[in-house]
Amino acid sequence: MKPFLIIGNWKLNGSIIFVKDYINKIKKFLNKKKLDYCKISIAPAYPYLYLFNIYLNNIQMSLTAQNVDIHLSGSFTGEISINMLKDIGVKYVIVGHSERRMFHKETDKYISKKFYIIKSNGLIPILCLGETELQKNMNQTKDICVKQIDVILNDYGIEAFNNTIIAYEPIWAIGSGQLANPIEVQKIHKFIREYISQKDFKISKNIIIQYGGSINENNMDMFIKQKDINGFLIGKASLTAEDFISIVKKAEKILSSI
């Protein structure tokens, strides 16, 4: 049975009322349904992580943070540390999302450092990577993935990837409704796994490789069935509890039959 992890990345959305309503709906669903085939998590904005922690009460859903600082404590006004995230029950941290690379000018080197600090301080980093439309058209997808992985490999070695997550998110597919071809995505995921495998077979076997980019209940089937796709990082479709629950229900059903 392949591991499958579905994470809802809320990005810059949400409010107290929204979070409470969402949690109530998720709780109602999870109280009745034991998840046998997939794990689920939500990445709300910082102010709502604690609300999730309190109201969710550890029921079959973990917490993801959308970002973290590279420092553990000290004079860094406006930042949030890994220890703070651990304090409020966070398990995963997204790093290298294309929106942070683009809008916050985060470089590969900085992302590498952040990835390593998250990993070495006991949380699980989710390394987002992927190509732009132009890079895709120039057949550079694999080169881009290698480049973004190599920075971490060169800086910290293959051990840094032990029990971590990679999320392949082609930039042109994010929030655009322009869905990637599941067969093409499988090829990229297989390539990424094989690339890691050249350095360490066991780590490559265990690494979770998620896909992200315009995934919803209606287009997810073919992705789930691909051997090297181990989950989804979902933006828009995770913003409605009903849609997120439908995705999880469907994932359970499909995964039980493959």
Residue whose CB is less far from ligand 13P, 182 or 213: 213
97 is catalytic: yes
Q: Which of 97, 99, 131, 189 is catalytic?
A: 97
Chain-centroid distance of CA 171 in Å reads 14
The least distance separating ligand 13P from the CB of residue 94, rounded to whole angstroms, comes to 7
With CB under 6 A as the contact rule, the residue among 95, 234, 241, 248 that binds ligand 13P is: 234
35 binds ligand 13P (CB under 6 A): no
The least distance separating ligand 13P from the CB of residue 22, rounded to whole angstroms, comes to 16
With CB under 6 A as the contact rule, the residue among 149, 233, 241, 251 that binds ligand 13P is: 233
212 binds ligand 13P (CB under 6 A): yes
With CB under 6 A as the contact rule, the residue among 169, 189, 193, 228 that binds ligand 13P is: 169
The label of the residue with tokens 């979902």 reads 234
User: What whole-number distance in Å separates Cα of residue 183 and Cα of residue 23?
Assistant: 34
Residue whose CB is less far from ligand 13P, 122 or 175: 175
Specify whether the CB–CB gap between 223 and 256 falls below 8 A: no
With CB under 6 A as the contact rule, the residue among 38, 124, 174, 192 that binds ligand 13P is: 174
Question: Six-digit token pair at 241?
Answer: 């509890």
Query: Which one-letter amino acid corresponds to residue 225?
Result: K
Among 240, 195, 189, residue whose Cα is nearest residue 216: 240
User: What whole-number distance in Å separates Cα of residue 58 and Cα of residue 41?
Assistant: 11
**Closest CB to ligand 13P belongs to which residue?**
235
Which alpha helices (H) appear in 33-121, and where do they start and end?
46-56, 82-87, 98-103, 108-120
User: What whole-number distance in Å separates Cα of residue 233 and Cα of residue 168?
Assistant: 9
With CB under 6 A as the contact rule, the residue among 6, 26, 42, 215 that binds ligand 13P is: 215
User: What whole-number distance in Å separates Cα of residue 63 and Cα of residue 42?
Assistant: 6
Specify whether the CB–CB gap between 258 and 225 falls below 8 A: yes
Q: Which of 131, 169, 189, 252 is catalytic?
A: 169
Count of residues of this chain found to bind ligand 13P when the rule CB under 6 A is applied: 14
Subset of residues 79 to 138 that bind ligand 13P, contact rule: CB under 6 A: 97
Per CB under 6 A, residues contacting ligand 13P are 9, 97, 169, 174-175, 212-215, 233-237
- Residues annotated as catalytic are 97, 169
